[in-house]
Amino acid sequence: MAISRGLRCCQRIFSWIPVVIISSVVLWSYYAYVFELCFLTYVLVFHVCFVMFCWTYWKAIFTPPSTPSKKFHLSFSDKERYEMEERPDVQKQILIDIAKKLPIFTRAQSGAIRFCDRCQLIKPDRCHHCSVCETCVLKMDHHCPWVNNCVGFSNYKFFLLFLSYSMLYCVFIAATVFQYFLKFWVGELPNDRAKFHVLFLLFVALMFFVSLMFLFGYHCWLVAKNRSTLEAFSAPVFQNGPDRNGFNVGVRKNLTQVFGEDKRLWLFPVFTSQGDGHYFPLRTLCESQNPLLASEGRWGEDGGSDEDSTDGEVEHDPSVTIDVEY
């Protein structure tokens, strides 16, 4: 037990290393740009970019992931009845009866009710269990090591703004430093310390910009399609089968779900996303697909096991790690 606690403590400490690296690079860039190179002409715009980057990065890191409300947790009596029952069919029926009272439209890959044994709850649509955070996260997108946090319903907007302001920060530095890089290239920059800072500022800014550009473009595509990273890899399953576009209600409404209706707040890291993370509008919905109106017989026909939890780590980009239980 003590060894296990020690390992978890070490894991938590090491998980902050990527954040420390990013923070160190940004602080060095601030020092080099403001104190060493002293670009007074651009210092105001630079500070605007710097403040917005730091604000969005802070919000992406320290906004806790949203977890399912109590109504999705099994009550004491239901939990006792579920754990005491050894027959899988009866356990399945218990979950079906409970799920009838909840706004749930998706199923496990097997067709069963999505149930988390660790958190002892019925998973809302688009909710997944993160084995790093050790909790179920509403509208989980992925676990990002660069923010040491789960990106989901509560901070997805902040994560997107962090990517966009990171790109803006890199582009601004690269554009304003480039003229001094040309002077360095032809030998017209006499200050040796300035040479070092100009060279590495340009190199680091361009390197980060290229990697961020692909990641940001990918997430823009996900927002336009109303998909999470997990849903892009594995389509959500509805009563009629898997459907990658099940939550796609049009580009305009998809954007509004993430950024809110007030466009004046779209560029600021304040929470404006629609809903509470437990329910999301569907592209097509009729009475036969609605679990609140469907008959018990329709639920029973789907079959399947009680649990669909697959641990895995998928990397689609060096800056994104998915560590999740479905």
Q: What single string gives the DSSP state of each residue in 5-30? A: HHHHHHHHHHTTHHHHHHHHHHHHHH
Told to judge if 144 belongs to the known catalytic residues of this protein, a careful annotator would answer yes
Dist CA 70 CA 222 (whole Å): 29
pLDDT at 294: 38
- Least Cα distance to 111 among 283, 293, 291 occurs for 291
**What count of other Cβ atoms lies within 10 Å of the Cβ of residue 82?**
18
Dist CA 31 CA 197 (whole Å): 10
Strand partners for 312: 324
pLDDT at 199: 84
Using H for helix, E for strand and C for coil, what is the string for 178-231? HHHHHHHHCCCCCCHHHHHHHHHHHHHHHHHHHHHHHHHHHHHHHHHHCCCHHH
pLDDT at 280: 95
Q: What is the mean pLDDT of each run of 10 residues along the chain (326 residues)?
A: 74 91 95 84 92 98 96 91 88 91 92 92 96 94 96 98 97 90 72 75 94 96 97 92 94 97 96 96 60 36 37 38 47
Helix-, strand-, coil-residue percentages of the chain, each rounded to 5: 50, 10, 40
**What count of other Cβ atoms lies within 10 Å of the Cβ of residue 232?**
15
DSSP 232: H
Q: Do residues 319 and 215 touch, judged by C-beta distance below 8 A?
A: yes
pLDDT at 283: 87
pLDDT at 1: 59
Record the pTM.
0.84
pLDDT at 185: 73
Report CA torsion sign: 162, 163, 166, 171. negative
- Point out the catalytic residue in the list 144, 150, 220, 286: 144
pLDDT at 225: 96
pLDDT at 285: 57
Cβ burial 166-199 (10 Å sphere, 16+ → b, else e):
bbbbbbbbbebbeebbeebeeeebeeeebbebbb
